[in-house]
Amino acid sequence: KQEVTQIPAALSVPEGENLVLNCSFTDSAIYNLQWFRQDPGKGLTSLLLIQSSQREQTSGRLNASLDKSSGRSTLYIAASQPGDSATYLCAVEDNQGGKLIFGQGTELSVKP
């Protein structure tokens, strides 16, 4: 059974810092991995999708990497801003039918 874990559960940093969020999964037979952002009480906003054949994806200040063999992904946020404060979720698309299996999220707070 696929399990997804995110570390740390919460993170507080001063504005301007670069930071890394971690995601690990137990079964390397995934089709893709997706990072999402969730603001309090809201739905999920897709940030980056990494296909199983890819090693990384970049969008603006965000860079996500994927190492399938070790079951790990990282989300790198450069020059963090208070507006980046949110919960970040990673999810893997399972190899059985396309549903996403989520980690518990990392709650990020960027202080001005």
- In the complex, what is the shortest distance from the CB of residue 50 to another protein, in angstroms, rounded to a whole number? 10
Which string of x and - marks every residue 12-41 that binds another protein (by CB under 8 A)? -------------------xx-x-x----x
With CB under 8 A as the contact rule, which of the stretches 12-20, 62-70, 76-84, 102-110 interacts with another protein? 102-110
Listed residue (66, 70, 82, 74) closest to 13, CA to CA:
82
Handedness of CA 89, 92, 98, 100 (dihedral sign): negative
Among 21, 68, 103, 108, the residue binding another protein under the rule CB under 8 A is: 103
Query: Which residue has 């549903």 as its token pair?
Result: 99
